[in-house]
Structure 1
């Protein structure tokens, strides 16, 4: 009897989930129910999936509204009707147009108009599929309205939005948030009626007892509706069925591509092992109907190669020889002995994961290609939920709390005695709203390519970049048989591609290398020594302090070692304690046999019986706990967090323990192994995934080894990496580069290199407008170098504020005129000559001015750079108020081992973390006064006493310790050091205001 039910996917309106709605129906003995969220279909598929568990017949619809004004409710008679609804809503969402008051002539949809709307309209005629909805509160008006004569058109329209008073209060708060108003100012028209609740069926029948024909009409309408989606384990894939025109043709194409790839990949050395692996994979891919899935990935990567786009294929699909032969990945599963069953097995319903990374510049072009190439394409949605801080801030505004109270509450400081009851309400309702969906967004990478129109499953909306996006997330997509294609963006590939181009420009005689010839890089002792000594700054995935530390501890000097390290660094392995155990077993011969269980050692001999890769979960579950491969895969997927609460996962989890007990394992051992599985599986990589990352790392390392300056320019031009740009500039200087501030004759918008001279790009000048940069480059390209300030002003339209930035950074230093004099001249020239917005036909005659001799010191220049670029181009140690009292640096750590050291460091990065008891501690990476890197750790007692207060130089006193050969300092005390006063403003501090004003004019007129 309920035709108009909302969940919290009626965004900022509804108050509970689709499961809660079904539970409510079960409690009230409601056997069939229509889900009709407002202009949204996010809950629909899961509602259908869950409904049988509650003995409810699910029916789908949409509540079409403009704001809160209800136009009509559309109810799907069947799947065709549901698609019709989705197409109608999608059209209006895509074009951002209002819903019409009257519905179009739908084919498979029932339309229910609200009683109030029809009462106020002049609509007299109703089509066969159109009805008038009436609620319990509308009944009293029916006898006196003109609508009483439509006895065959009246149906029950009792809306369901709340369960109780608390829901209603939460709803009012959501509406205030949506309207950005104080709760006291919220208009009643924006709020649903408090009676929008689900009553027991018996009560509803009683309310309509004098109008039984309305109940009969409603029952008849419900009985004519049905919806069907297959959520079973053996469901058919809903992805594009055939890449070509038929299954047979797809299979022939896949086989031909593999045969073509064999001699190219294996250079004529095709062993029996390779042939057997290929045969086994092809048989399974065909049996599981994954042929088109592989061919679509091949199509995408083939187009990327055609366009000259760099990419990396990773994920569990990288365990596949078919993927290797199709050039979807560059990982050879034979050479790496990649576990076949992680890639695919007969019990696996979903295809393997292919994560294809493109450069951040190329990803959008590839996404556009996919949308143009295939018929039924959409991005996967995701739900952005209300988080604690956001909820508290929003509710704080709604209740009118002062900013300081909102700040305190959002930081989790709790309600102080000075706070009133409003603050307590913020926390009370914050807990209720926290976790509710706030809006539907776009999944980071997922694209759906379907056999049917995507509106068969959901309505779509258009995010800013203009790609249609479904209303549901990846978990629901997989439930219904839609498997996403992951197209990701990363900056590492942009760095590699740009470096190759920069080398061709800067060192054309050395540009004849093949960046894809990674097999040669693996054997290169120069590259492997960079890994072993952790000289990996700027290199993909291996530059962070944690990775640098791990590489040194493991003494990694080969590709396979880097593959393992790429997965060991993941949070789960560290959390389980197995990172440390792996290092111990790696460094100490015999420890694996002493500490490892024989079964674990036999399953994972290459990793000393330690779970390192995602497929190790499958191996342990299958061989150690005796689960089938299908059950083992359910366990692995459940550990990822996507399905952790699912019933099937809980069953497999229980069977893991039962089987282990049956095998006679000790309870302590079972607990230990389960803890390892549970703690790391969701964060570990598949081995093929790690191998793909290691390929890109080796490409980056090759470029750093042989073209370090060009590579560092590319790193900077691609937005840096783990560290601030300043650190990469420093690294380039340490490798022999001369760093120049921006210059109007030499610089581009991005950084550029000439020989060993790097000119910083104009992009670093924080307040310099993009259009000014483009104007300068365009004019210089068209008419040549600028000859003087006057020449520049004749050719480039620029304001005094923008010109001041360029002069202050010394971008006109080629004129050999002091920048203070240039600032005076710029002001005088621009004030005497009114600027036109059009280029001049003839060179202007400039008046000569008498300007006093002025000077700028190196210290002043450093502070100007600091202000304009964000960092000085000199060593920050040159700017200390007091010079260091200790000459110790990174090179001295070894001689101070197990002793105390006094050392100064310029802060590079801090990692704030917590112990297992929740106490704060810090790991910090710094530069010493000679430019070398060293690491410190502040354990909780010290971290509680001393705090890092932003960028700057700190003096440390602590103990030098070594862990597996990695040296660091356990800090005992530290102190931030002061810089000299900014000389540009120093006179203000002495009270000489006249001198200050003059210097201010010289330095930064117009800022």
Structure 2
């Protein structure tokens, strides 16, 4: 029976820290017979939806969580020298409601608490703790640091405080074992690496022994985790390289973050975890008990447009049709039967898909910008829509240029069509502010994009970490052709569309 569930897992969305790609994480968990899996990236939910979809596809129960940064004082305190450091805490959503609370926590951490890291505080945790399970955290947590100091009384007070925040059955004492004692023997006694591993081994021992005492003292259950940063044990060296890229270090340096010295931060099997915690079997079985509490169903694919005010006794479909026929005459030389037929066709598709409000909203802010003399242009497949032309969203007559509407929208397209509108850089903020004010701040979001290293840059970065001469790295990088780049499974850089990473 598979009694262990990984509840502390980092993906590549723990930027330049985690190495694990989500599809590989989920597939490896399935290969090992695990029916549940958590994702707890540092201070973010960047990979949550991708993880959710991948888990659902593989028949795995997705446990969406986050390793949050907890301010030592208030999240509003940002004093140099006092608030630079923070604690870690592992939080897991048990339902869609919990997931929404998790999103609120992460949003507040970025918008209000950001100081070196996106931080929250206990007051904020208490406000959004519903349907969230918390684990006390890794060796950087508040309770762990207190246990290392062997201050059991303080640890007890903290544990009770967290229990009051999350609920009696929703707080657990987290324990980890990364075998620093075992791996220190690979280094010379007295060397910097040996001494550092010895220090971490002593701290980990104090932490686990202290956690046992704390659990008995408070009757709070323990839970075993592995601080997963890569999928396979063989990935340890690659993860060490990205750590060096993040910190600007060279791999041969000893005074740096060196997770490689204890290469145990991988997705361990149930058997490995059972053996590691054979003295605390309940810490293993409790992971499954937690996983059984989790049932997150995210309504993906549902369209949620902002509310667009229409005249009484009029529907968005009717208003859209009325506006199109009012305005089309000013957009074309002559309203021909062909134009009427195309308009009716497009409007029928838009109505059947339920997208009339979408067109009304886009037309509203595009025309507002035009009235304010803010330069804009619409690009992409929206130019194939006569409705877009009639509303002033585009300036291209699709009939004249023989542009098909179906490329933009058809009955069988499963996703929402996107209308890409570019505004003058110097006045783009005015448009965003208009939309926020009219439709509500909670209805407007700006989408983040992730910068990824293309093959040439990756070669240069890795070469720097390995302390290779720049000329050597540059020569290798220049052998890689320009254009779409990737490293295929066979190891060659290629242009083909077959491989996507």
TM-score (normalizing by structure 1): 0.38
| Residues 328 and 390 in structure 2, CA contact (< 8 A), matched pair in contact too | yes
| Cross-structure match for 1:304 | 369
| Cross-structure match for 2:130 | 107
| Greater per-residue strand proportion | 1
| Residues 233 and 265 in structure 2, CA contact (< 8 A), matched pair in contact too | no
Q: Distance in 2 between matches of 1:163 and 1:339?
A: 45
| Residues 45 and 106 in structure 2, CA contact (< 8 A), matched pair in contact too | no
Q: Distance in 2 between matches of 1:101 and 1:274?
A: 59
Report SS of the residue matched to 1:47. Answer: helix
Q: Indicate how the Cα distance of structure 1 residues 197 and 265 shifts in structure 2: closer, same or farther if over 3 A, else same.
A: closer
- Unaligned runs of 5+ residues in structure 1 are 414-429, 436-638, 647-1007
Is 2:36 the counterpart of 1:19? no
2:8 to 4, 10, 33: 4
Q: Distance in 1 between matches of 2:276 and 2:289?
A: 19
Matches within 5 A, 1:86-125: 86-95=103-112, 96-97=114-115, 98=117, 99=119, 104-105=125-126, 106-114=129-137, 116=139, 117=141, 118-121=143-146, 122-124=154-156, 125=160
Q: Indicate how the Cα distance of structure 1 residues 270 and 407 shifts in structure 2: closer, same or farther if over 3 A, else same.
A: closer
Report the CA distance between 1:377 and its aligned residue. 1.7
1:328 to 393, 418, 422: 393
Report the CA distance between 1:76 and its aligned residue. 0.9
Report the CA distance between 1:45 and its aligned residue. 0.8
1:231-264, CA deviations, whole angstroms, 9 ceiling, x for partnerless residues?
Answer: 5xxx4324x1542279953223212212321343
Q: Distance in 1 between matches of 2:446 and 2:372?
A: 22
| Residues 90 and 136 in structure 2, CA contact (< 8 A), matched pair in contact too | yes
Report the CA distance between 1:397 and its aligned residue. 3.0
Q: Indicate how the Cα distance of structure 1 residues 369 and 55 shifts in structure 2: closer, same or farther if over 3 A, else same.
A: same
Report the CA distance between 1:32 and its aligned residue. 0.2
Matches within 5 A, 1:524-563: none
1:383 to 442, 450, 469: 450
Matches within 5 A, 1:915-994: none
| Residues 232 and 267 in structure 2, CA contact (< 8 A), matched pair in contact too | no
Report the CA distance between 1:189 and its aligned residue. 4.8
Report SS of the residue matched to 1:385. Answer: coil
Q: Distance in 2 between matches of 1:252 and 1:181?
A: 62
Q: Indicate how the Cα distance of structure 1 residues 401 and 342 shifts in structure 2: closer, same or farther if over 3 A, else same.
A: closer
Q: Distance in 1 between matches of 2:225 and 2:31?
A: 20
Report the CA distance between 1:295 and its aligned residue. 0.8
| Residues 156 and 218 in structure 1, CA contact (< 8 A), matched pair in contact too | yes
Report SS of the residue matched to 2:7. Answer: strand
Report SS of the residue matched to 2:378. Answer: strand
Report SS of the residue matched to 1:61. Answer: strand
Q: Indicate how the Cα distance of structure 1 residues 307 and 215 shifts in structure 2: closer, same or farther if over 3 A, else same.
A: same
| Residues 26 and 58 in structure 2, CA contact (< 8 A), matched pair in contact too | yes
Report the CA distance between 1:408 and its aligned residue. 3.3
Report SS of the residue matched to 2:267. Answer: coil
Q: Of the two, which has the highest radius of gyration?
A: 1
Higher mean Cα deviation, 194-203 or 26-35? 194-203
Q: Distance in 2 between matches of 1:388 and 1:645?
A: 13
2:176 to 135, 141, 144: 135
Aligned length: 418
| Residues 62 and 296 in structure 2, CA contact (< 8 A), matched pair in contact too | yes
Matches within 5 A, 1:147-226: 147-149=214-216, 150-187=218-255, 189=257, 191=259, 193-226=262-295
Q: Distance in 2 between matches of 1:63 and 1:404?
A: 40
Report the CA distance between 1:276 and its aligned residue. 2.6
Is 2:419 the counterpart of 1:354? yes
Report SS of the residue matched to 1:159. Answer: coil
Q: Distance in 1 between matches of 2:258 and 2:278?
A: 32
| Residues 182 and 400 in structure 1, CA contact (< 8 A), matched pair in contact too | yes
Q: Distance in 2 between matches of 1:398 and 1:337?
A: 53
Report SS of the residue matched to 1:111. Answer: strand
Matches within 5 A, 1:658-807: none
Q: Distance in 2 between matches of 1:44 and 1:320?
A: 34
| Cross-structure match for 2:76 | none
Q: Indicate how the Cα distance of structure 1 residues 215 and 341 shifts in structure 2: closer, same or farther if over 3 A, else same.
A: same
Report the CA distance between 1:350 and its aligned residue. 2.8
Report the CA distance between 1:61 and its aligned residue. 0.6
Q: Distance in 1 between matches of 2:294 and 2:237?
A: 34
Q: Distance in 1 between matches of 2:255 and 2:6?
A: 27
| Cross-structure match for 1:53 | 57
Report the CA distance between 1:334 and its aligned residue. 3.8
TM-score (normalizing by structure 2): 0.74
1:34 to 9, 32, 38: 38
Q: Distance in 2 between matches of 1:115 and 1:309?
A: 51
Report SS of the residue matched to 1:30. Answer: coil
Report the CA distance between 1:206 and its aligned residue. 4.7
1:36-84, CA deviations, whole angstroms, 9 ceiling, x for partnerless residues?
Answer: 1112322211111111333311110111248997611111112222222
Across the aligned residues of Structure 1 and Structure 2, the Cα RMSD in angstroms comes to: 3.4
Q: Distance in 2 between matches of 1:140 and 1:308?
A: 67
| Residues 281 and 322 in structure 1, CA contact (< 8 A), matched pair in contact too | yes
| Residues 31 and 55 in structure 1, CA contact (< 8 A), matched pair in contact too | yes
| Residues 132 and 154 in structure 1, CA contact (< 8 A), matched pair in contact too | yes
Q: Indicate how the Cα distance of structure 1 residues 645 and 387 shifts in structure 2: closer, same or farther if over 3 A, else same.
A: closer
Matches within 5 A, 1:236-635: 236-238=302-304, 240-244=305-309, 249-266=315-332, 269-375=334-440, 376-412=443-479
Report the CA distance between 1:288 and its aligned residue. 0.1
Report the CA distance between 1:228 and its aligned residue. 1.9
Q: Indicate how the Cα distance of structure 1 residues 265 and 55 shifts in structure 2: closer, same or farther if over 3 A, else same.
A: closer
Q: Distance in 1 between matches of 2:207 and 2:448?
A: 43
| Residues 151 and 214 in structure 1, CA contact (< 8 A), matched pair in contact too | no
Report the CA distance between 1:278 and its aligned residue. 2.0
Q: Indicate how the Cα distance of structure 1 residues 357 and 199 shifts in structure 2: closer, same or farther if over 3 A, else same.
A: closer
| Cross-structure match for 2:101 | 84
Report SS of the residue matched to 1:195. Answer: coil
Q: Indicate how the Cα distance of structure 1 residues 248 and 56 shifts in structure 2: closer, same or farther if over 3 A, else same.
A: farther
1:380-417, CA deviations, whole angstroms, 9 ceiling, x for partnerless residues?
Answer: 2222112233233333332333443344344349xxxx
| Residues 4 and 73 in structure 1, CA contact (< 8 A), matched pair in contact too | yes
1:855-897, CA deviations, whole angstroms, 9 ceiling, x for partnerless residues?
Answer: xxxxxxxxxxxxxxxxxxxxxxxxxxxxxxxxxxxxxxxxxxx
Q: Distance in 2 between matches of 1:119 and 1:310?
A: 56
Q: Distance in 2 between matches of 1:394 and 1:317?
A: 39
Q: Distance in 2 between matches of 1:182 and 1:163?
A: 23
Q: Indicate how the Cα distance of structure 1 residues 203 and 357 shifts in structure 2: closer, same or farther if over 3 A, else same.
A: closer
Report SS of the residue matched to 2:8. Answer: strand
Report SS of the residue matched to 1:167. Answer: helix
Q: Distance in 2 between matches of 1:258 and 1:27?
A: 55
Q: Indicate how the Cα distance of structure 1 residues 313 and 198 shifts in structure 2: closer, same or farther if over 3 A, else same.
A: closer
Q: Indicate how the Cα distance of structure 1 residues 241 and 366 shifts in structure 2: closer, same or farther if over 3 A, else same.
A: closer
Q: Distance in 1 between matches of 2:302 and 2:215?
A: 49
Is 2:116 the counterpart of 1:75? no
| Cross-structure match for 1:229 | 298
Q: Distance in 1 between matches of 2:410 and 2:49?
A: 27
Q: Which has the higher contact order (CA 8 A, sep 6+)?
A: 2
Q: Indicate how the Cα distance of structure 1 residues 206 and 176 shifts in structure 2: closer, same or farther if over 3 A, else same.
A: closer
